[in-house]
């Protein structure tokens, strides 16, 4: 099953991706993780990506696509995968479509005021990157994985959040239109398990069809 996961930052799509990964045995692929991994390889492509990220320049679509293509050709992607955070724009979706046809697109939906509320309370570990939330039970301000102090990312501050969500809205509508009846909509207003239940049912049926 080749899947795309659409959803704004704070929508809980990362948590949903992990559940799908566990139940269906397909890897979650995020371009952010791919960039971090390729930078470490010190290959030519890795150096190119690093210099862009260091300068704060958005990695161009062609380079992102090369990195992604390489990842999707690996063995663990044979059964399928979940793309998390890619494509972000219509141009990226059109590029991906030339390489492969996805089976379904899961679109995680949450009203903007709720997204804002979740994002401003988000905190991250500077050392291991783990994400936590001041509203989660047992929050102490220290990382649950490594004990480091948590901080609020600049892009999780209220003004930056508004900009991010507006950009998301602008890019997402054409994407949903592009994938048409492949899109399965789910609300993440409830708990992670409540969000996952209809998705699981949908994916089981999709798996049987294939």
Q: CA 167 to CA 120: how far, in whole Å?
A: 17
Which residue in 196, 135, 193, 172 sits closest to 7, CA to CA?
172
Choose the stretch contacting Zn ion; rule: CB under 5 A; options: 65-73, 108-116, 119-127, 134-142.
Answer: 119-127
For Zn ion, give the closer residue by CB, 103 or 130.
Answer: 130
Contact call for residue 66 and Zn ion (CB under 5 A): no
Rounded Cα gap, residues 143 and 151, in angstroms: 10
Does residue 88 carry a catalytic annotation?
A: yes
Residue 128 C-beta: closest distance to Zn ion, Å: 3
Stretch in the footprint of Zn ion (CB under 5 A) among 41-49, 67-75, 130-138, 194-202 = 130-138
Structure tokens at 93: 């979706």
Position 153 contacts Zn ion (CB under 5 A) = no
Check if the beta carbon of residue 138 is closer than 8 Å to that of residue 180: no
Q: Per rule CB under 5 A, is residue 127 in the interface with Zn ion?
A: yes
Catalytic residue among 71, 118, 123, 164: 164
| C-beta closer to Zn ion: residue 127 or 157 | 127
116 burial level (CB within 10 Å; 0-12, 13-18, 19+)? middle
Q: Contacting Zn ion (CB under 5 A), which of 145, 157, 162, 169? A: 145
Q: Which one among 37, 99, 134, 146 touches Zn ion, defined by CB under 5 A?
A: 146
101: annotated active-site residue: no
Q: How far apart are CA 113 and CA 12, in angstroms?
A: 14
Q: Which two tokens stand for residue 136?
A: 């989660």
Catalytic residues: 13, 88, 122, 153, 164
């Amino acid at each position: 099953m080749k899947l795309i996961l659409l959803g704004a930052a704070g929508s809980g799509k990362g948590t949903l991706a992990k559940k799908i990964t566990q139940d269906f045995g397909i890897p979650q692929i995020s371009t952010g993780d791919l960039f971090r991994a390729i930078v470490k390889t010190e290959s030519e492509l890795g150096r190119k990506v690093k210099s862009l990220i260091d300068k704060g320049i958005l990695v161009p679509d062609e380079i992102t696509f090369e990195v992604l293509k390489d990842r999707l050709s690996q063995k663990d992607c044979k059964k399928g995968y979940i793309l998390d955070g890619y494509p972000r724009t219509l141009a990226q979706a059109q590029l991906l479509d030339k390489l492969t046809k996805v089976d379904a697109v899961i679109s995680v939906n949450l009203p903007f005021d709720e997204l804002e509320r979740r994002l401003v309370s988000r905190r991250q570990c500077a050392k291991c990157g783990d994400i936590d939330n001041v509203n989660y039970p047992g929050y102490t301000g220290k990382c649950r994985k490594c004990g480091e102090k948590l901080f609020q990312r600049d892009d999780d501050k209220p003004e930056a959040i508004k900009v991010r969500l507006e950009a998301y809205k602008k890019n997402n509508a054409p994407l949903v239109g592009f994938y048409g009846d492949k899109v399965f909509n789910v609300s993440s207003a409830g708990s992670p398990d409540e969000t996952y239940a209809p998705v699981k049912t949908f994916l089981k049926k999709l798996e049987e069809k294939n």
